[in-house]
């Protein structure tokens, strides 16, 4: 994939999410993740990607503290 192709895919993703609207964005990204995992066809790689994507995000504890 060239940089220009990556740009195009990125922009398509952003635009699609915008068209669907914010309330559906999370479900859209979940569906995209599932399709990407399926296409990847490699359980270990998928596990590692899940860890990488979670790394550095604020811990869930803060959210749990909310009422």
Partner 1 sequence: MTYEFAPYPFEAQRHAAKLPALRAGLEERRHPVVVVGGGPVGYTTALGLASHGVPVVVIEADDSVCSGSRAICISRRSLEIADRLGALPGFLDIGLPWTGGRSFYRDTEVLHFTMPQDENQKLPPMVNLAQYSIEQILLDKAETQPDLIDIRWQTRVTGVEARDDGVRLALATPEGDYSLQADWVVAADGGRSFLREALGLKLEGTSYEGRYVIVDILLDSDRPTERLAYFDPACNPGSTVLVHKQPGNVWRIDYQLRDGEDPDAAIQPENVMPRVESLLAMMGEKGSWKPIWSGIYKANALTLPSYRAGRVLFAGDAAHLVPIFGVRGANSGIDDADNLAWKLAFVVKGLASSALLDSYSVERVAAARENLSYGTKSTEFMAPPSFGFELMRTAVLGLAKKHPSLSSLINPRQTSAITYATSPLNAAAERSAEFPAGPVPGAVLPECPLTVADGSGTREGHLTDLLGPHFTALYFSEDGAVPAELESLDRALAARQVPFELASLTRRLGASSPHGWDHTGRLFPMYGAQPGTLYLVRPDGHVLGRWRQASAAEALAAIDHALQPPVKGV
- Per rule CB under 8 A, is residue 63 in the interface with partner 1? no
Residue pair 46/40 in contact by the 8 Å Cβ criterion: yes
- The DSSP letter of residue 59 is P
Size, binding site for partner 1 by CB under 8 A: 18
Q: Which of residues 18-57 bind partner 1 (CB under 8 A)?
A: 18, 22, 25, 52-53, 55-57
Q: How far apart are CA 50 and CA 41, in angstroms?
A: 14
Nearer to partner 1, 26 or 34 (CB): 26
**What minimum distance in Å lies between the beta carbon of 11 and partner 1?**
6
Phi, psi angles (nearest 5°) of residue 17: -60, -40
């Amino acid at each position: 994939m060239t940089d220009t192709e990556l740009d195009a895919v990125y922009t398509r993703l952003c635009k699609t999410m915008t068209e669907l609207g914010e309330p559906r964005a999370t479900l859209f990204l979940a569906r995209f993740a599932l399709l990407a995992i399926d296409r990847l066809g490699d359980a270990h790689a998928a596990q590692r990607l899940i860890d990488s994507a979670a790394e550095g995000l604020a811990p869930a504890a803060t959210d749990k503290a909310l009422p």
